[in-house]
Amino acid sequence: MASIALVDDDRNILTSVSIALKSEGFTVRVYSDGETALKALAENPPDLAVLDIKMPRMDGMELLRRLRERTAVPVIFLTSKDDELDEALGLAMGADDYITKPFSQRLLIARIRAILRRTEARAEPEAPDEAQPAAEPIVRGRLSMDPARHRVSWNGQDVVLTVTEFLLLEVLAQRPGFVKTRDQLMDTAYQDDVYVDDRTIDSHIKRLRRKFRAVDPEFKAIETLYGVGYRFAEE
């Protein structure tokens, strides 16, 4: 049974999300400020932590920075809507994903499960005679993806992606030139029957392009086929 730490100064969020997670079988620990959470999480790390960014006394960024000095616990940030600076800083500091407020509890639970599955897969010991082959790296022109290490680079420069962004790019890059509809991309990124609309996928694609254009302003590898979906362009 995985343990989840919730750190937020909003009591309503702590209560409602805690109830939702417990109903899914998780063990939940709640903290209303970063200072209290730091000591507890450093001494007894959970399987995953959900941190609000804007908190008094110690904000989520500082909490993550100090946690990363002691533990590699996976972290999901809760951010203000469209706060790109928070998103970029959080991912650069080692957050695994982010969700903007207000958020769906079902979406949060789906993201938590996705990160835990990926974390467990990396940590799984393999017996020499029963070892499963590791996911093969994907190389498409200037794009390089290593699913086993969750690493992406473009033209030799690292690009930091969330779990959801990584999954979307991976499914597009696996078959360059082939179109993936929004429904197919939603099935890839959001498991456990979580409903999201088309605009959510469009927003992730927009962020993906923005991150790649930060290292290459001429990046055009993710193409839109209007009314159909998206594809990774063959070079």
Record the pTM.
0.63
Residue 210 has φ and ψ, to the nearest 5°, of -60, -40
What integer pLDDT is reported at residue 172 of this predicted model? 94
Q: How confident is the model at residue 167 (pLDDT cuts 50, 70, 90)?
A: confident
Which domains, from first to last, does the chain contain?
Answer: 3-123 (3.40.50.2300), 138-232 (1.10.10.10)
Q: Is the pLDDT of residue 30 over 50?
A: yes
What integer pLDDT is reported at residue 218 of this predicted model? 94
pLDDT per position as a tens digit, 177-223: 999 998 888 777 655 544 455 566 787 788 889 889 999 999 999 99
Higher pLDDT, 156 or 207: 156
Q: Is the pLDDT of residue 27 over 90?
A: yes
What integer pLDDT is reported at residue 156 of this predicted model? 94
pLDDT per position as a tens digit, 124-142: 544 444 444 556 889 999 9
pLDDT per position as a tens digit, 53-110: 888 888 888 998 888 888 778 899 888 755 655 666 666 666 778 888 888 888 899 8
Contacts 24+ apart (CB under 8 A), 138-147: 138/170, 138/173, 138/174, 140/173, 140/176, 140/221, 140/232, 140/234, 140/235, 141/221, 141/234, 141/235, 142/216, 142/221, 142/235, 143/173, 143/221, 143/232, 145/169, 145/170, 145/173
What integer pLDDT is reported at residue 7 of this predicted model? 94
For residues 219 and 154, the answer to whether their CB atoms sit within 8 Å is yes
Q: How far apart are CA 168 and CA 191, in angstroms?
A: 13
